[in-house]
A and B are shown apart, each in its own frame.
Chain A
């Protein structure tokens, strides 16, 4: 029976790998996701057959409550809020690992106190177990609080602190305490040091907060990806604690996924992970004041109207939309798609240029546009679209700022220097739809807006697009 159960966990892990493999194309992805779900079902059934499971009441209660909350959240969440949803799920994952490892610790204590020693089927409380337990509990706790701070930041309820020195100090102290505490815990006999373990959990909960609070709002995509990775590693560590290979494999898959996405995000911003984690927000590092910002744009911005844009578009052959998070905030993805369909009816080639960090998490902008039924073939990655801007008649920038700033390639003193950008400025005409001239996350003015070939339309992206659509109809 025991090997049958372990075989079931292996089957589940294989199905997860196939599931992720399905995600390599949008066509096979739905099926891939279903395969993963079947794998999960198999794993849960196998767990229910374990010899130490004798009563099902609490298990069924827990599953029902979790299922109800999870399904409710998943059905209700807006696509604009996906980053918050994923960050929250990261937190729950970390929390679950923390709780499972803690429960296992208590069970080991009880088993050791029983007269006949270890209970059948339970691994021994050796040093390997103790180290895995520490990792599982500590990573789980950091992921739990760190993720919910990230949720707060994404919702705009928690701002960026002006000084990050204090948080850096807290992080350092926590690390030292944890290192010393863990060493003592493992060597002195883990089962006798419950109080120390509790103290370390509290320190880790605090560490999660102190690690994420100082990170700037613009860097949240990196943080979500990293916490995703942590939640997987916490699961893997729990697998070591329980001696469950299925858990180890699955946790490392999730860990690898999060790590890859973290690397992609860091590269797209040309920042090292250390700089993202400990450098503070970009605006605080090198941002300009409001007066400097106003002086930069003073008298140099050419403003146009929706009617003129409609005329420009009417004579264009190739149009590229450059969406940023501003588009999502204005809920303008549907209006964008409407305008795009209209242009396509006029035989105009329409594409969307997607910067890797557009939106608030990896791939976020693609989901928002997919929701508005933009065919995914039209969503073009940065490296592919950049050479095409030279042949583009009109590029329309919608709520994107820093990712189009030419200073990234021209000005070595700019805080974003070296960051790969969408080379929008190469298009014949650039239309920038923007409410005002406030700087983006990097806190710096954008030279693109004062270029000779740039025209600005001030206003809410959705309203401006609707005006343009109206003007196109009148032409």
Chain B
């Protein structure tokens, strides 16, 4: 139960941090913001890596699901960061 309270606290505080930081992003950059957050939501890849790593707890099906998750998360990571970079460079040049 204590563990749950701790993780819940982290979750709630992180939402507040998110709101504070994101409220300062100007409307001009809202599209790159969305693709950028797409990229960082690929962090779920860390869970996928553990499932695909052939540990004692995995079996054929869970490894398969894990690899599929790695593929999807990496599409997000590589696609998200690359397309965000492409857009932001358009804003940078005068």
Query: Does the CB pair A16–B57 fall under 8 Å?
Result: no
With A232-B37, A364-B31 as contacts: A71 and B66 at CB distance below 8 Å:
no
Query: Does the CB pair B40–A36 fall under 8 Å?
Result: yes
- Residues 83-112 of chain A: 1 if any B CB is under 8 Å from the residue's CB, otherwise 0? 001100110110111011011101110110
Query: Does the CB pair B46–A86 fall under 8 Å?
Result: no
Which of B29, B30, B66, B92 is within 8 Å of A103, CB to CB? B66
How far is A82 from B33 in the complex, measured between Cα atoms in Å? Answer: 12
How far is A57 from B66 in the complex, measured between Cα atoms in Å? Answer: 13
Which residues of A are found within 8 Å of B10, using beta-carbon distances? 245, 248-249
The chain A residue with its CB closest to the CB of B58 is A107
Q: Which among B25, B44, B50, B85 has the greatest number of chain A C-beta atoms within 10 A?
A: B44
Interchain nearest-CB distance for A3 vs B (Å):
15
Which of A100, A235, A261 is within 8 Å of B66, CB to CB? A100
How far is A32 from B89 in the complex, measured between Cα atoms in Å? Answer: 12
Query: Does the CB pair A119–B56 fall under 8 Å?
Result: yes
With A103-B69, A104-B51 as contacts: A252 and B35 at CB distance below 8 Å:
no
Which of B56, B76, B84, B92 is within 8 Å of A92, CB to CB? B76
With A245-B7, A366-B31 as contacts: A44 and B52 at CB distance below 8 Å:
no
How far is A258 from B15 in the complex, measured between Cα atoms in Å? Answer: 11
Query: Does the CB pair B36–A260 fall under 8 Å?
Result: no
How far is A228 from B54 in the complex, measured between Cα atoms in Å? Answer: 31
With A228-B34, A232-B41 as contacts: A77 and B18 at CB distance below 8 Å:
no
Count class of interface residues, chain A = 35 or more
The chain A residue with its CB closest to the CB of B94 is A375
With A70-B74, A73-B79 as contacts: A29 and B91 at CB distance below 8 Å:
yes
Which of A17, A62, A85 is within 8 Å of B67, CB to CB? A62
Query: Does the CB pair A252–B18 fall under 8 Å?
Result: yes
Within 8 A of A (CB), among B48-77: 48-59, 61-63, 65-77
With A53-B49, A55-B53, A96-B44 as contacts: A66 and B75 at CB distance below 8 Å:
yes
Which residues of A are found within 8 Å of B50, using beta-carbon distances? 47, 50, 52-53, 242
Query: Does the CB pair B43–A366 fall under 8 Å?
Result: no
How far is A126 from B79 in the complex, measured between Cα atoms in Å? Answer: 36
**A146 near B: Cβ within 8 Å?**
no
Within 8 A of A (CB), among B12-33: 14-15, 17-19, 21-33
**A394 near B: Cβ within 8 Å?**
no
With A53-B55, A89-B75, A370-B87 as contacts: A244 and B46 at CB distance below 8 Å:
yes
Contact sample, A vs B, 24 pairs, CB 8 Å cutoff: A23-B32, A26-B92, A33-B85, A40-B77, A50-B50, A59-B67, A69-B75, A70-B78, A73-B83, A74-B81, A86-B38, A104-B47, A110-B59, A119-B57, A248-B11, A249-B10, A251-B44, A256-B19, A257-B22, A257-B34, A363-B29, A363-B32, A373-B93, A379-B28
Chain A residues packing against B (C-beta within 8 Å): 9, 12-13, 16-17, 19-21, 23-27, 29-30, 32-34, 36-37, 39-40, 43-44, 46-48, 50-56, 58-59, 61-63, 65-67, 69-71, 73-75, 77, 79, 82, 85-86, 89-90, 92-93, 95-97, 99-100, 102-104, 106-108, 110-111, 114, 119, 122, 128, 224-225, 228, 231-232, 235-236, 238-258, 260-261, 264, 354, 356, 361-364, 366-367, 370-371, 373, 375-376, 379, 381
